[in-house]
């Protein structure tokens, strides 16, 4: 589930409830983000092409890095 909250009203501005067969980070490309939005995401969103899209839209983001598996 991808959810975009309106910071001023603390209410959901966008909710995308997807089935378990679709990767959340693939659906994240469709979230309508405004310049200056702030994204907080888990490791699954550490997708460099997605982060590049967010950066080009002047969106701020915090994503935990993936741990190396040896």
pLDDT digits (tens, 9 = 90+) for 28-62: 888 888 888 888 887 766 788 888 999 999 999 88
Residue 48 lies in a domain: yes
**Rounded distance between C-alpha atoms, residue 67 and residue 54, angstroms:** 22
pTM: 0.69
Residue 23 lies in a domain: yes
**Rounded distance between C-alpha atoms, residue 58 and residue 65, angstroms:** 20
Question: Which range marks the domain in which residue 6 is found?
Answer: 2-63
- Residue with the bigger pLDDT between 64 and 20: it is 64
Residue 21 lies in a domain: yes
Residue 14 lies in a domain: yes
Residue 12 lies in a domain: yes
Residue 69 lies in a domain: no
| Inter-CA distances, 68 with 19, 32, 43, 52, Å | 28, 32, 12, 22
Number of domains into which the chain is organized:
1
Residue 68 lies in a domain: no
**Which two tokens mark 30?**
């469709």
Residue 46 lies in a domain: yes
């Amino acid at each position: 589930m991808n959810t975009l909250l309106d910071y001023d009203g603390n209410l959901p501005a966008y909710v995308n409830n997807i089935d378990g067969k679709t990767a959340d980070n693939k659906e994240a490309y469709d979230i309508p983000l405004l310049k200056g939005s702030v994204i907080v995401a888990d490791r699954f969103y550490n997708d460099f092409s997605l982060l590049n899209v967010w950066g080009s839209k002047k969106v701020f983001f915090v994503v935990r890095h993936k741990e190396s598996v040896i």
